[in-house]
Amino acid sequence: MSFDSVIELKGLKRYYNVGGETVKALDGVDLEIGRGEYLSLVGPSGSGKTTLFNMIGGLDRPTEGIVEIDGVDISKLDAYELAWLRCRRIGYIFQNFNLITVLTALENVALPTVFAGTPHDEGLKKAKKLLESVGLGERLNHKPSQLSAGQQQRVAMARALANEPTIILADEPTGNLDLNTGTEIIDLLHGLNKTRGLTLVAATHDLKMIKASDRVIWMRDGRVEKIERG
Amino acid sequence: MASGERRVHLGYVEAFRLGYSHLLRRLDRSTLNVASIALGLSFYTSLLLTDTFYRTYSTLGGASLSVEATYYWLVAIALTVSVVGITNAMLISVQERVKEIGTMKCLGALDRHITLLFLIEALLQGIIGGIIGYAVGVVAALLTTGFTTGFDIILRVPVTQNLTLFVSSLVLAIVLGTAATIYPAYRASRLDPVEALRYEL
Ligand SMILES: Nc1ncnc2c1ncn2[C@@H]1O[C@H](COP(=O)(O)OP(=O)(O)OP(=O)(O)O)[C@@H](O)[C@H]1O
Ligand SMILES: [Mg+2]
């Protein structure tokens, strides 16, 4: 069976210019990520994990090199297609959840379906189901500020799934959570990867996450240092 | 990637729903914006109404009275101040929402969707501010003129004239509120998602 890759990075570089000095956040990354794979990005602070997350997520443009998703070079996409990619193909999970504070849990989860053009009622129904599936069926109308950190991250997970993406990107999803709630989130993510065949790329420092993954990418100074089977 | 319809959307109904949520749930700031519009507008309408009342009074045989021209300068200044105030408040509002705007862009929002959300907030603020401003203006004009012309003067002004004044106040409120928000909305729409997500308050 040949390797079926969803994401392909070729000679990826991202340089920042800070006061005349060049900071090499990514300095030549080549990587293929398979469909349904669970990949952990590991490395010391400043090694380029978040920068890589932004590149794969179509949030930032590389200084050099190519990001291909399903064989399409995303630098060739126009603003509409890029927004579509972010909306429909990729679900994002952040360390600090990034929920919209003025919206309820239900409205937060339904928000991506708005941009996808889903009818209002259908979007809400979908959001309700998703929140129930992460164990928050009783919290639909709570604001983020009325939820615990672990609950907020579960809302964020439900939101990431709202448009049935095939790729989930997570940047230190358990970084702001205690051990137990972190484990819950990891189990949920792992379950999604296994049951729905979602491709999961997670930057993390969390040993539990690393152990659960198929492959571990060790980053250092903007490069891939080594790759291990999980 | 499958070809076909690769569009993201933000319908007006949904945009109104979101704009309304923001207004309602950031009530302190939106109340200040509404008050700012209402204040400028009430000054404007009270002056025009006072003038209208005086004119109606004199056509009905009363003494010939009018509003001093210098007052119109004051109105222009009051309206300018309210526009500047709203621009400032909306810029702060953009600053407060940097992360949210970045997040929305991750969820598929286009630049113009962000602009639309801010303009809808401005529109709603303008409408509410315009209505309140007009109502306050009516009361103020009656208090200025009523003792000379009689308080029933408002009933003697032709209905069409009252209506024209109301509509023009409302339109002015909406135009000013929206104009004040164009620059903040533009700034918000241009935010880079990566920068926005890195942003800490
Ligand atoms: N906007 C920017 N301007 C300048 N330098 C930047 C910018 N963003 C990132 N960098 C630099 O790029 C390098 C990689 O940063 P990145 O955030 O990707 O690291 P990270 O592996 O996610 O670290 P952490 O574990 O702390 O989150 C760092 O040296 C950082 O200072
Ligand atoms: Mg990081």
Rounded to two decimals, the ipTM of the complex is: 0.92
- Structural domain boundaries, residue A45: 38-59+78-229
Q: What is the token pair recorded at A175?
A: 């970084």
Task: Tell me if B190 sits within 8 A of B114, measured CB to CB.
Answer: no
The widest CA-to-CA distance across chain A, in whole angstroms, is 53
Query: Rg of chain B's alpha carbons, rounded to an integer?
Result: 21
Q: pLDDT of B133-170, one tens digit each?
A: 999 999 999 999 999 888 998 888 889 998 999 999 99
Task: Tell me if A114 sits within 8 A of A98, measured CB to CB.
Answer: no
**CATH no. for residue A198?**
3.40.50.300
Q: Is A114 on the interface with B (CB under 8 A)?
A: yes
pLDDT band at B175 (very low <50, low <70, confident <90, very high): very high
Cβ-based neighbours of B115, under 8 Å, separated by 6 or more? B185, B186, B188, B189
The pLDDT, as a whole number, for residue B201 is 61
Q: Is the dihedral of CA A2, A165, A90, A181 positive or negative?
A: negative
Q: Is B10 on the interface with A (CB under 8 A)?
A: yes
A117·B7 Cβ contact <8 A? yes
Cβ contacts of B9 on chain A, cutoff 8 Å:
114-117
pLDDT band at A130 (very low <50, low <70, confident <90, very high): very high
Domain count, chain A: 1
Q: pLDDT of B89-132, one tens digit each?
A: 999 999 999 999 999 999 999 999 999 999 999 999 999 999 99
Q: pLDDT of A17-35, one tens digit each?
A: 999 999 999 999 999 999 9
Chain B residue with Cα closest to A97: B103
The pLDDT, as a whole number, for residue A25 is 97
Cβ-based neighbours of A211, under 8 Å, separated by 6 or more? A230
Place of tokens 């990418």: A217
Q: Write out residues with Cβ below 6 Å of ligand 1.
A: A 16, 18, 23, 25, 43, 45-51
Task: Tell me if B188 sits within 8 A of B96, measured CB to CB.
Answer: no
Q: How far is residue A10's CA from residue A28's CA, in Å, rounded to a whole number? A: 8
CA dihedral B144, B145, B151, B156 (to 10 degrees): -140
Q: Which residues partner with A171 through β-bridges?
A: A203
Domain count, chain B: 1
Q: Is the predicted pLDDT of residue A2 greater than 70, yes or no? A: no
Q: Is A79 on the interface with B (CB under 8 A)?
A: yes
Q: Is A110 on the interface with B (CB under 8 A)?
A: no
Gap from CA of A93 to ligand 2 centroid (Å): 12
What stretch of H or E contains A18?
A: strand A5-18
3-state secondary structure of A100: coil
Q: Is the predicted pLDDT of residue B9 greater than 90, yes or no? A: no
Mark which residues 184-213 of A lie under 8 Å from B by CB: none
Q: How far is residue B81's CA from residue A181's CA, in Å, rounded to a whole number? A: 51
The region of weakest confidence among A42-51, B129-138, B192-201 is B192-201
Neighbours of A203 (CB within 10 A): 27
3-state secondary structure of A210: helix
What stretch of H or E contains A171?
A: strand A167-171
Kindly state whether residue B192 falls inside one of the protein's structural domains: yes
Q: What is the mean pLDDT of chain B?
A: 91
Tell me the average pLDDT across B18-27.
89
Q: Is A121 on the interface with B (CB under 8 A)?
A: no
Gap from CA of A221 to ligand 1 centroid (Å): 10
Q: How far is residue A204's CA from residue B153's CA, in Å, rounded to a whole number? A: 74
Residue with the smallest CA separation from ligand 1 atom 10 is: A25
Gap from CA of B21 to ligand 2 centroid (Å): 32
Q: What is the mean pLDDT of chain A?
A: 95
A115·B105 Cβ contact <8 A? no
Q: Is the predicted pLDDT of residue B71 greater than 70, yes or no? A: yes
Q: pLDDT of A143-192, one tens digit each?
A: 999 999 999 999 999 999 999 999 999 999 999 999 999 999 999 999 99
Q: Is the predicted pLDDT of residue A1 greater than 60, yes or no? A: no
3-state secondary structure of B146: helix
The pLDDT, as a whole number, for residue A163 is 97
The pLDDT, as a whole number, for residue B191 is 96
pLDDT band at B6 (very low <50, low <70, confident <90, very high): confident
- Structural domain boundaries, residue B71: 12-198
The pLDDT, as a whole number, for residue B1 is 43
Q: What is the token pair recorded at A221?
A: 């100074």
Cβ-based neighbours of A113, under 8 Å, separated by 6 or more? A122, A123, A126, A127, A162, A163
Task: Tell me if B117 sits within 8 A of B89, measured CB to CB.
Answer: no
